[in-house]
């Protein structure tokens, strides 16, 4: 059975219901009419022949529908029809996305690391009651930073340091306005031997300027200072602005690290047990102090 092409006058080409849909509806209507006729003639014609004819017509309708669905935009334009509407793909349950589709949506843009926190200022020395004793000194000559500045503001020590990502230390403290020769890092020295600190022991180490050493390392012999030194021992609390230290013993252990100040000699040192030190130096006792960063 051959179907004629129908043309509907005045039908807008942009509508979703196009000529192929109309053709499909006409074919379905003819199929229904044919089915009714088959029922009327079933008693007079061979039933098998009627069923075969019915199946043939049904196959033609299905093929026509499939062909209509597979029609390309180029074929439609050739026939004077509008292009097919765009198809928007979506991922349905039980279906996997295409490789390009899945890649575009599964790839997550990496987040840039947060910028490091850099601080600068002066180091204020405070006593056990939280009162200021003064600022670390910045003097020329021997022991340039070991003590409190009693001179002009130009002799206050200025420092800068950067916190590691996501932590409060350890890090190096760099002197930014040195009145002395290199090295320009604040740290500790144990002298010509790799000294150590411990509770119930009076051992001390000297606070001074040192070369840079790796974080977490035990005392390293410095060729320039001719002494065992550590620099990356510092920790910082952004809320209280307190600067603390953690000395690393030669065996890798982390002993108590107390800041002590001898006001008579204007000297700062680190000790594991200040009580043990003062018991051995009753005539020249020292006091516990803390370091705090103050803005310039």
Give the model confidence (pLDDT) of 12-24 as tens digits. Answer: 444 444 555 556 6
Give the pLDDT score at 4: 44
Give the pLDDT score at 91: 52
Q: Which residues of 259-285 are buried (b: 16+ CB within 10 A; e: fewer)?
A: bbbbeeeebbbbbbbbebbbeeeeeee
How far, in Å, CA of 154 to CA of 7, rounded? Answer: 97
Give the pLDDT score at 25: 67
Give the pLDDT score at 61: 52
Give the pLDDT score at 75: 74
Length of the chain (residues): 296
Model confidence over 251-290: pLDDT tens digits? 999 999 999 999 999 999 999 999 999 999 999 999 999 9
How far, in Å, CA of 4 to CA of 19, rounded? Answer: 12
Q: Are 189 and 205 within 8 A, CB to CB? A: yes
How far, in Å, CA of 54 to CA of 44, rounded? Answer: 16
Give the pLDDT score at 49: 59
| Inter-CA distances, 110 with 99, 117, 243, Å | 20, 21, 34
For 53, residues 6+ apart whose C-beta sits below 8 A from its C-beta are 38
Give the pLDDT score at 8: 41
Cα 7 to chain center, whole Å?
Answer: 64
Helix residue ranges per DSSP H, the chain: 19-41, 47-69, 73-78, 99-106, 274-280
Q: What is the 3-state secondary structure (H, E, C) of 45-100?
A: CCHHHHHHHHHHHHHHHHHHHHHHHCCCHHHHHHCCCCCCCCCCCCCCCCCCCCHH
Mean of pLDDT values over 231-237: 98
Model confidence over 209-227: pLDDT tens digits? 999 999 999 999 998 778 9
By mean pLDDT, which of 33-42, 75-84, 141-150 is the weakest? 33-42
How far, in Å, CA of 135 to CA of 177, rounded? Answer: 14
Model confidence over 176-212: pLDDT tens digits? 999 999 999 999 999 999 999 999 999 999 999 999 9
For 117-294, CATH number out of 2.80.10, 1.25.40, 3.40.50, 2.30.29 equals 2.80.10
Pairing of β 117-126 and β 132-135: antiparallel
Give the pLDDT score at 59: 60
Residue 171 forms beta bridges with which residues?
234
Q: Which DSSP category does 250 fall into?
A: T
* Environment class of 1 (CB within 10 Å of its CB; exposed 0-12, middle 13-18, buried 19+): exposed
Q: Is the pLDDT of residue 52 over 80?
A: no
| Inter-CA distances, 211 with 27, 64, 173, 181, 258, Å | 93, 87, 11, 12, 22
Q: Are 204 and 271 within 8 A, CB to CB? A: yes
Model confidence over 3-14: pLDDT tens digits? 444 444 444 444
DSSP labels for 212-228? ---TT---EEETTTTEE
Number of other CB atoms surrounding residue 34 within 10 Å: 16
Model confidence over 127-172: pLDDT tens digits? 999 999 999 999 999 899 999 999 999 999 999 999 998 899 999 9
Q: Is the pTM of this model over 0.85?
A: no
In the structure, what pLDDT confidence band is assigned to residue 296 with cuts at 50, 70 and 90?
confident
Q: Are 220 and 213 within 8 A, CB to CB? A: yes
Give the pLDDT score at 3: 44
Helix (H) or strand (E) segment spanning residue 262 = strand 258-262
């Amino acid at each position: 059975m051959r179907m004629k092409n129908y043309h509907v006058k005045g039908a807008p080409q942009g509508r979703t219901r196009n000529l192929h849909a109309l053709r499909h509806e006409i074919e379905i209507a003819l199929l229904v009419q044919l089915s009714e006729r088959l029922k009327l003639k079933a008693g007079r014609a061979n039933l098998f022949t009627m069923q075969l004819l019915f199946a043939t017509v049904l196959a033609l309708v299905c093929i026509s529908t499939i062909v209509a669905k597979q029609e390309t935009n180029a074929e439609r334009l050739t026939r004077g029809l509008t292009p097919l509407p765009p198809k928007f793909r979506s991922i349905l349950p039980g279906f996997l996305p295409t490789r390009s589709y899945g890649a575009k949506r599964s790839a997550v843009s990496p987040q840039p690391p947060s910028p490091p926190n850099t601080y600068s200022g002066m180091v204020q020395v405070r006593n056990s009651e939280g009162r200021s004793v003064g600022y670390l000194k910045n003097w020329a000559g021997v022991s340039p930073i070991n003590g409190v500045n009693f001179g002009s503001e130009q002799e206050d020590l200025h420092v800068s340091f950067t916190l590691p990502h996501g932590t409060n230390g350890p890090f190096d403290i760099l002197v930014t306005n040195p009145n002395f020769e290199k090295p320009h890092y604040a740290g500790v020295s144990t002298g010509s031997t790799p000294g150590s600190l411990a509770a119930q022991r009076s051992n001390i180490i000297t606070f001074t300027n040192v070369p840079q050493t790796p974080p977490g390392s035990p005392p390293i012999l410095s060729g320039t200072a001719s002494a065992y030194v550590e620099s990356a021992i510092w920790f910082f609390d952004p809320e209280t602005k307190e600067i603390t230290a953690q000395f690393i013993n030669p065996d890798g252990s982390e002993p108590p690290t107390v800041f002590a100040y001898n006001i008579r000699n204007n000297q700062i040192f680190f000790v594991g047990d200040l009580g043990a030190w003062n018991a051995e130096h009753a005539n020249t006792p020292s006091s516990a102090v803390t370091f705090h960063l103050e803005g310039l």
